[in-house]
Amino acid sequence: MFTDFYFFPFHAFRNQSSDLVATVSTRSCSILELLRNKKLAKRLWLQHTRIAEAVVLKIFISSLQSMEFESMLVSEHFQSWKKPKEQKAIIIIVLMAPLYAIDSYVGLLDIRGSSTFFTFLDSVKECYEALVMAKFLALMYTYLNISISKNIVPDEIKGREIHHSFPMTLFQPHTVHLDHKNLKLLKQWTWQFVVIRPVCSVLMIALQLLGIYPSWLSWTFTMILNVSVSLALYSLVVFYHVFAKELAPHKPLAKFLCVKGIVFFCFWQGILLDILVAMGIVKSNHFWLDVEHVQEALQNMLVIVEMVFFSLLMQYAYAAAPYRNASVSDTSDKKKE
């Protein structure tokens, strides 16, 4: 009895010591595991950083290629500067691809930018897009020797039928005859986007900075802009169908596809990315980057790569060869006009 009583504290102390040693050992293992995880995390971080740097470098090279192609085309037009009115419009149009590439590359450099920052970048692209549409229609008018401001419409194209499709038939007759009034209306349908796009951009950025930009307001601006750009593109399509024969020597379809293609890909791939994010296919595995910024990065990368191909297409559609081979008499006649 005494012996048991004497050794009881010792046994208790020995059990507590064992528990203490086990706890210390467990904590030591946890610390070692944490250190190993930190080393692994650092190694993975370095790998991801190198991959990101390689991707950004390749994207930067793609941006330079787009700029190189278009700068060559612009320099060729300056060397063959014989029809300034046409070539000024062409230069504005062909600069669309490198501007989109540069704008998207800036978005990649500040990948964690605010929503206001990305709204500003999108606004720059879309405002220039509006200007390009207006200049494209002006170029087509110049090819046909049409001047709305001077009320010049060649007699051979007057009276042609314009067939409107739904939903324009809700506001216009199904068939109208071409005259100065209808040509002016087509021009107004294009230029309304040139006005509406910058106004909406300024309002969107201002409201975001003020912190009063709910989702319903965002959808309202989206609907307004979609209707506006659709009307502008519709006017270009109608104009092409009416004058396809006269415009054939100027490759109008290739010229139109350059403009329409850039708008089409940028818009619909954005919609596709929205769907992929909503379905959980596109997601973020980085603690420092949310899925919205991943989506913006993917959109910018796709735009930069696509601009290289559109730059090559513009080399064909807006080539300077017809102006290089133009005779001096053509130039003097153009000046008289």
Q: One-letter amino acid identity for 218?
A: S
Give the model's pLDDT for residue 44: 47
Instruction: Yes or no: say if 136 and 259 are a contact pair by the CB < 8 Å rule.
Output: yes
CA distance 234 to 238: 6
Classify residue 89 by burial, with Cβ atoms within 10 Å: 0-12, 13-18, 19+. buried
Handedness of CA 130, 202, 63, 91 (dihedral sign): positive
- What digits encode the pLDDT tens for the residues 229-278? 888 888 888 888 888 888 888 888 888 888 888 888 887 887 888 888 88
Rounded mean pLDDT of the chain?
Answer: 75
Give the model's pLDDT for residue 93: 92
CA distance 262 to 266: 6
Farthest CA pair distance, the chain: 130
The 8-class DSSP code of residue 147 comes to B
Give the model's pLDDT for residue 301: 85
Give which of 274, 278, 263 is closest to 298, Cα–Cα: 274
CA distance 236 to 314: 18
Model pTM above 0.75: no
- What digits encode the pLDDT tens for the residues 113-162? 667 777 788 888 888 988 898 888 889 888 888 777 677 677 777 777 88
Given a cut of 70, the residues of the chain with pLDDT beneath it are 1-66, 111-114, 149, 152, 284-289, 326-337
Give domain limits for the chain.
Answer: 67-336
